[in-house]
Amino acid sequence: MSDADIGDEEVALVTEVLRSRALSCGPMLERFEAAFASRIGARFAVAVSSGTAGLHLALIAAGVGEGDLVITTPYSFVASANAALYQRAVPVFVDIDPVTLNIDPGQVQQAVHDLQSPDARGRRWLPRRRNAGGAGRLKAVVPVHVFGQPADMDPIVAAARQYDVAVVEDACEAIGGEYRGRRVGALGDASVFGFFPNKQMTTGEGGLVATDDAGWANLLRSLRNQGRDDGSAWLSYSRLGFNYRLDDMSAAIGVAQLRRLDELLARRERVAAAYTERLAIPGVAPMPLHPATTRRSWFVYVVRFAPEVDRDGVMRALADAGVPSRPYFPCIHLQPFYREQFGFQPGDFPHAEAASQATLALPFHANLSIEAIDFVVERLAEAVSGCRRPAASHAGAEVPPC
């Protein structure tokens, strides 16, 4: 499905760290953070142990606590919503735009506005069941740049600013992306990146929070390091913190990857273009480009099937032909834990649910060969032609197994 691109420079820099024996909190970490901040155009960058850890810390910095509300999308990787749950906050899902599959900015505006009052208008956005009662305030909006296409940020940020609500970009899938000519990662109060090996750049495990706010940056540094204050005596703790540090070997990989980022992104773009050129299969569409997207960063290559194509059947047929694929994303609100905890039900977010049943991620990485792409697309065409549903049963439950 994916493959990290690790070159000689990564090996050399990791070796340098190992030989220096400054394995944690060393100069390589600072080098990585400085390079990253300048790359995305943020004043501060705080590296952490994963994208998930970064989301957690950013929400703490946004003041999210027990019973507070956090608006986010149900069509994402589960971590973007889990971060709110770590703080015992209540996730307020807002449905997606059915075309771009990013959170619907108009509905976010409405939700931000409605949630200022505790009456029925505000309550209709809340989950049926709520852990701490959901009596807290709306503290943050977490838009996700799904598959590397920036969410429509301007209306979201405008609504949040009006009510003093923080905006934390989940930019884990979108490094290098641009929205209306502005770089992803510098569009809200803070942004979070992830460096798992399937992302556009990797550190092994790893993540980072970027912000322009010096207060947030200091707090984030303290929180990732057991709650210690910057410059304070070793073993003096001002707040409840975590061990969310990134080690210097990982930072070294990050420094090397960042230097090659433009090349890595360009290669992914070429692989994506090669897929799109070949995708003349009826009932199969590539992800559309939103007019506000000035640059899409390619994280995964996802196709969307027309209703007459049985996605799960296609996935099985591809697997039989030796092609891995993933049903990406399953809806977060329909995961067993979320249903049990918050009472979500099928039908709650119809656009997200329709998308999650019709999208499929194909094998994708910077070094995928043209031969491999041809092979995948040929097998996909065969799989799709064998998995068309009879015309009358598109929406029906009685779909014969492919």
Ligand X SMILES: *Cc1c(COP(=O)(O)O)cnc(C)c1O
Helices 248-259 and 27-40 cross at an angle (nearest 10°) of: 40
Binding mask 182-221 for ligand X (x = CB under 6 A): ------------x-x----------x--------------
What part of residues 23-52 is at the interface with ligand X (CB under 6 A)?
50-52
Judged by beta carbon, residue 52 or residue 257, the one nearer ligand X is: 52
Two structure tokens written together for 144: 């996700």
Q: Is 199 a catalytic residue?
A: yes
Determine if 173 is a binding residue for ligand X (CB under 6 A). yes
Q: Which of 39, 130, 139, 199 is catalytic?
A: 199
Among 46, 62, 115, 172, binds ligand X (CB under 6 A): 172
Of 76 and 250, nearer to ligand X (C-beta) is: 76
Q: How many residues bind ligand X (CB under 6 A)?
A: 14
CB atoms within 10 A of CB 267: 18
Shortest distance in whole angstroms from residue 203 CB to ligand X: 9
At closest approach, how far in Å is the CB of 317 from ligand X? Answer: 27
Nearer to ligand X, 2 or 76 (CB): 76
**Which of 208, 271 has the CB closer to ligand X?**
208
Least separation in angstroms between residue 373's CB and ligand X is 23
Give 40 or 383: the residue with its C-beta nearer to ligand X: 40
CB of 168 to ligand X, least distance (A): 11
Amino acid letter at 270?
R
- Which residue is closest to ligand X by CB? 51
Report the DSSP pairing between strands 284-286 and 301-305.
antiparallel
Residues 53-112, interacting with ligand X (CB under 6 A): 76-77, 79-80
CB of 80 to ligand X, least distance (A): 5
Per-residue mark of binding to ligand X, 131-150 (x: CB under 6 A) = -------------x------
- Least Å distance, CB 69 to ligand X, is 19
Q: Please report, as ranges, the residues that interact with ligand X according to CB under 6 A.
A: 50-52, 76-77, 79-80, 144, 170, 172-173, 194, 196, 207
Residues involved in catalysis: 199
